[in-house]
Structure 1
Amino acid sequence: MSAVQLMDFDESTAFLGDYGFFHVLMIVLLSLSAMPCGYMRVIVVFVSDTPEYHCKLSINSTRNGTDVERASSWSEPNSCSRDKVNGNGTETVTRNDTERCVDGWVFSTERYTSTIVSEWDLVCENAWKVPFSTSLYFVGVLIGSFISGHLSDRFGRKPVFFVTMFLQAAIALIQATSISWVMYCILNCMRGASHMSNYTSSIVLGSEMLSKSARVSYTLLGHSMGYGLGYALLPLLAYFIRGWRMLLVASAIPSLLFIPSWWVIPESPRWLLQKGRVEEAERVIRNAAKQNRVPAPEIIFRTEECLELMQKKDEKEQTYTYMDLFRTPNMRNVTILGLFLWVSVAMVFYGLSLNTSNLYGNVYLNCFLSALIDIGAYFTTWLMVNRAPRPTVLFSALMSCGILLLVIQLVPEDMPVMFQVLALVGKMGMSGAYSFIYVIFTELMPTVVRNMGFGIFTTAANIGTIISPYVIYSGVHSKILPYIIFGTISIVAAAVSILLPDTRNNKLPDHISQAKPIRNFSCQKKTPSPQSTETEGCKKEEQ
């Protein structure tokens, strides 16, 4: 094994404390970096919303220039057809005689000055383009997360984090100048490729430089809260900026303002050690000690260990690939369970988030309430994280969401408020689960493949998010069908989650050999003995 035992990293840096100035600064900065991710991923709620519309009269069928006023009287809202008109501009006698909206549509400007729907007439036979453009965003996220995991493990967490932060903003600015729906879709895919890469790399970067106690608080309370606050900021921005182009411009500004923090946020010392760059890692730790105003030991890592790691720089490094996630039984089991859970959780979480515009009431208020519920879920999960086994917390969150979503089908149609309450409270459980899977899988994935692990998990998750707009679109045929689908998926995911090993109070694994086995409920405890409490089968499974 390589020199510095990275499993002792927490012990080697224990002198820094848990919440010194350095730790607090990193938590604050990296949590703030999650705010653009919070609104960028669900900005489609307003950018792609469909205003009320009706057919437009042709010019030669108007009288006295009042076609818009007449249109509202002879065409039902959100209609894809109109009553036929004669060439002289009068309606036909037979009111059941209709024709397609060959002259286009008139869109209401009561809620928005423009969306991509009103700009490019994405209604009726073109309505499929709305969920398709949203799915393309998640296709981009899928591609970006798959590539960025390997790049981050190879070139470092920090470069990938800042490059994707810049790309997220730059592409949004270019997207705001789109001259066609095709251009918008291509840029939407590219913006998605930078989004999840940035979000994941910031979680890994913070988790690897913080202590065990601060790491959990950062992931659940800091980073997730930053994401939730960004989500809550979205309806406020959208309320005052009613045009989709300027909304994209406004969303890009915070990311650009964050770029100067490059000179404040260091590279992950764990990653530097793993790459044999001991001097750089020690420099990061000594700088942290200086900021925390604590004395650093003269030797942070033992001399013989450092010499061996320094030699490693001139030798051929062991290169890890995605196949290492499946090479050993323990890694393979954790990876397969993780793939299913990330697909399920992401599909339901983003499905419920994107569906806020379809709920009863004001779309801005619904989106804001959804964000507040997310923040409440993150805080509740943080309170529970050290009070119960990790799989139990995840199971409870997923099961509560699934039950509440399935109960929705029992709500009478004349009780829309109850329908809305159940949908939003159900989302609270899924929001907690979404934030918590980052905690448990950060603790399950070894350092040598952690970012690749997150890359493949987020890639799988985005298969779910690609599907979620179409699950929502199925609500056109049955309003409760999306909730039945999401509720069923949540309950199945809850059943799978109890197989995960408990990582509470454990150190972060650094090598594949340290991966934990999944829980085997067939293993029965033997008669109490001070030497052994498990069967031989269980022992073999853990080795």
Structure 2
Amino acid sequence: MGSKVHQKTEEIFKEVGEFGTYQLFIFILVGFISFIPAIVGYSFSFYAATPNFRCKIPNYTNDTYEIQNVFHKSLIEKYIPLSNDKSFKDIYDKCKLKIYLNESQLMLSEKKNISLVKCNEWVYSKEYYESTLITEWNLVCDKSAKRSLFSTFYFIGTYGVILSGILSDKLGRKKTAYVFIIANALLNICLSFLISYEFENTNIQQILFTVVRFFCGIASNVYAVSVVIAMEIVGPSKRVTAANSIYYLYIIGEFVVLFFAYFIRNYKYFYMSCTAIMTSFAFIFWLVPESPRWLMTKQRYHEAYTIFNKIAKSNKRDITSLVELQDLKTSSLKNRKKDEHNIVSPINDKLNNSEENKEKILSALDTLKIFFKSTKLIIRSSVLLLNWLTNTLVYYGISFNTNELFGDPYLNFGLSVLVELIAILVTHVTLERYGRKIPYCINMALTGISLLFVLFVPQDMGFLITICALIGKFSISFTYNTVYIITAESHPTVIRNSAVSICQSFARMGAIIAPNIQLLGEIFWYPIPFIVYGAFSTISAFLFIIFMPESKFIKLPDTIEEFIQ
């Protein structure tokens, strides 16, 4: 019955109007929900940022990271060794102190009189942050891995997108979205409490924080539901525009994070403000109706008719002249008056009499089996999965670590979001004109080249590293958006959704790995993340250009046989 219900719904949309004022109102409300994953995800880059720091000078009460005077500078040079890491950020060693073996010979410069020991107190730069979670809990040096752990568990939680899909199909789009919105509000209130309240045992506090971050990752999947609602409240010709527009609103959510982070430098007040915004969405989302498309598939015709009727009125259509809508009204009245077992409504009668009811949509497991039907499919599927992994790894690796780049972290973050927005706009124009494969490969290769170029940047030219990262962010945003289109166009109808879901699930490993790649750069050598991201991008581009076909100028496969051939 699925395809006939779909066809019937499309016909009703064409009658009542594909996009009007009521749909715009709903679309805006739904768009606000896309702010949630942007705020939850990117706020961490600010409230858990690691500012420049070094060991605290022994027995110097008023020590600060910023040099106070000539005497203070001399103490820093005496007790703080220079950094061995040739990084553009680190002048002094962050984790070690000079200890003089013979206190009577403090002024001697012989290395035999000096030993290096790990410190347990630090001072932090106040240039960009008044305070952060990292400075509050001193999660630096041997404890720096905990920050990566917080991010890792958050991204593990994003696998909850599978749960959001199951619930939205069973309970409906609106109920599922509401569950995630309320869960998100409660979890972020808990998170605000955890980072604001001083626990006697900080280890317990950090464990609780990690657990709540994991569940925040699950709740952030409300974005997937918001995209579905936006696509299902408009007509067929507006669906792609609706999905893209939700993504634009997601990017606006990133700018909202930047706005609050810039003006609220105290991390506790900053996150409280973010939590207040996300909680407010629970009070406005009740205005959003259930998806009429979902209601139609569940044969809840009266509720579907009510929504379609509102759409028709907002679009100033003459309701009495709309044949399909009146047919729906008749069905809704009969369904309300009599038991569904005793009567077949006009719509059900039309749907049940079609041979198209036998259409079968294959599961994710069946889809995986098809991927291994032939050597060619194995190679193509492997290359496609690798490219999904690369896109996610590099995109999140750059996006969530702009504060580690040279220069003002607020400016870097703003530029990163801006180049992402430009990349998405360029994607829409380029793909229609030049196809998918060549633009994709050029941009993936550009990502690899720009990030690997960091290896050749002199230590005193850190701004070039920021430029390379921004070029990489532009090109990876382009490919990240494009790989969705390529995957959908490369697979037949019966496995299209499953294919995209499998690729998305596999790709999320990249998001989980990214914080730990960043940690390797902090511990061992700062270019390591750039080398890893650059290498993955270069290899992915090379394999894609060799093994993957162009998908724009060919007929979309409708059957498994067409796909295999």
Q: TM-score range by the shorter chain?
A: 0.7 to 0.9
- 2:96 and 2:118 in contact (8 A); partners too: yes
Where does residue 521 of structure 1 map in the other structure? none
Distance 1:249 1:310, change over 3 A: farther
Distance 1:191 1:406, change over 3 A: same
Where does residue 43 of structure 1 map in the other structure? 43
Moved more, 350-359 or 15-24: 15-24
| Whole-Å separation in 1 of the counterparts to 2:552 and 2:128 | 48
Summarize the alignment of residues 97-136 of structure 1 with structure 2, pairs less than 5 Å apart.
97-98=114-115, 100-101=117-118, 103-136=120-153
Task: Please tell me the residue identity of whatever aligns with 1:216.
Answer: V
1:210 pairs with 2:231: no
- 1:206 and 1:218 in contact (8 A); partners too: yes
Cα drift, residue 352 of structure 1 = 0.9
Distance 1:475 1:8, change over 3 A: farther
Distance 1:173 1:263, change over 3 A: closer
Distance 1:423 1:168, change over 3 A: same
Cα drift, residue 439 of structure 1 = 5.4
Distance 1:102 1:475, change over 3 A: closer
| Whole-Å separation in 2 of the counterparts to 1:89 and 1:258 | 66
Distance 1:82 1:400, change over 3 A: closer
Where does residue 175 of structure 2 map in the other structure? 159
Where does residue 258 of structure 2 map in the other structure? 235
Cα drift, residue 126 of structure 1 = 1.2
Task: Please tell me the residue identity of whatever aligns with 1:467.
Answer: I
Where does residue 520 of structure 1 map in the other structure? none
- 1:225 and 1:375 in contact (8 A); partners too: yes
Where does residue 25 of structure 1 map in the other structure? 25
- 1:217 and 1:382 in contact (8 A); partners too: no
1:78-123 superposed Cα distances (whole Å, 9 cap, x missing partner): 5312233799999696775335345522333332222222111111
Query: Aligned to 1:54, what secondary structure does the other structure show?
Result: strand
Moved more, 428-437 or 381-390: 381-390
Distance 1:90 1:446, change over 3 A: farther
Moved more, 83-92 or 242-251: 83-92
Query: Aligned to 1:51, what secondary structure does the other structure show?
Result: coil
| Whole-Å separation in 1 of the counterparts to 2:442 and 2:22 | 34
Summarize the alignment of residues 463-482 of structure 1 with structure 2, pairs less than 5 Å apart.
463-476=509-522, 477-482=524-529
| Whole-Å separation in 1 of the counterparts to 2:168 and 2:42 | 25
Where does residue 185 of structure 2 map in the other structure? 169
- 1:352 and 1:427 in contact (8 A); partners too: yes
| Whole-Å separation in 2 of the counterparts to 1:466 and 1:89 | 52
Query: Aligned to 2:246, what secondary structure does the other structure show?
Result: helix
Identity among equivalent pairs (%): 25
Distance 1:160 1:491, change over 3 A: farther
Question: How many matched pairs?
Answer: 505
Task: Please tell me the residue identity of whatever aligns with 2:134.
Answer: V
| Whole-Å separation in 2 of the counterparts to 1:441 and 1:153 | 22
Q: Quick check: which has more Rg, 1 or 2?
A: 2
Query: Aligned to 1:263, what secondary structure does the other structure show?
Result: helix
1:37-83 superposed Cα distances (whole Å, 9 cap, x missing partner): 2232122221222223333356xx46xx5566866454334531223
Distance 1:102 1:490, change over 3 A: closer
Where does residue 86 of structure 2 map in the other structure? none
Cα drift, residue 187 of structure 1 = 1.4
- 1:140 and 1:189 in contact (8 A); partners too: yes
Match of 1:376 among 422, 426, 444: 422
| Whole-Å separation in 2 of the counterparts to 1:15 and 1:325 | 36
- 1:150 and 1:451 in contact (8 A); partners too: no
Moved more, 421-430 or 70-79: 70-79
Q: What residue ranges of structure 1 are gaps of 5+ in the alignment?
A: 312-317, 508-513, 518-538
Distance 1:401 1:417, change over 3 A: same
1:190-217 superposed Cα distances (whole Å, 9 cap, x missing partner): 111111x111111122223323442222
TM-score, scaled to structure 1: 0.79
Task: Please tell me the residue identity of whatever aligns with 1:150.
Answer: I
1:299 pairs with 2:324: yes
Distance 1:146 1:307, change over 3 A: same
- 2:390 and 2:540 in contact (8 A); partners too: yes
Task: Please tell me the residue identity of whatever aligns with 2:323.
Answer: E
- 1:276 and 1:310 in contact (8 A); partners too: no
Normalized per residue, which structure has more helix?
Answer: 2
1:188 pairs with 2:213: yes
Summarize the alignment of residues 517-536 of structure 1 with structure 2, pairs less than 5 Å apart.
none
Q: Please tell me the root mean square deviation across aligned C-alpha atoms, in Å.
A: 4.0
Distance 1:257 1:438, change over 3 A: farther
Q: What residue ranges of structure 2 are gaps of 5+ in the alignment?
A: 81-91, 200-204, 329-344, 354-359
Where does residue 483 of structure 1 map in the other structure? 530
1:13 pairs with 2:28: no
Where does residue 355 of structure 1 map in the other structure? 401
Query: Aligned to 2:279, what secondary structure does the other structure show?
Result: helix
Distance 1:453 1:73, change over 3 A: same
- 2:517 and 2:529 in contact (8 A); partners too: yes
TM-score, scaled to structure 2: 0.76
Match of 1:275 among 271, 292, 298: 298
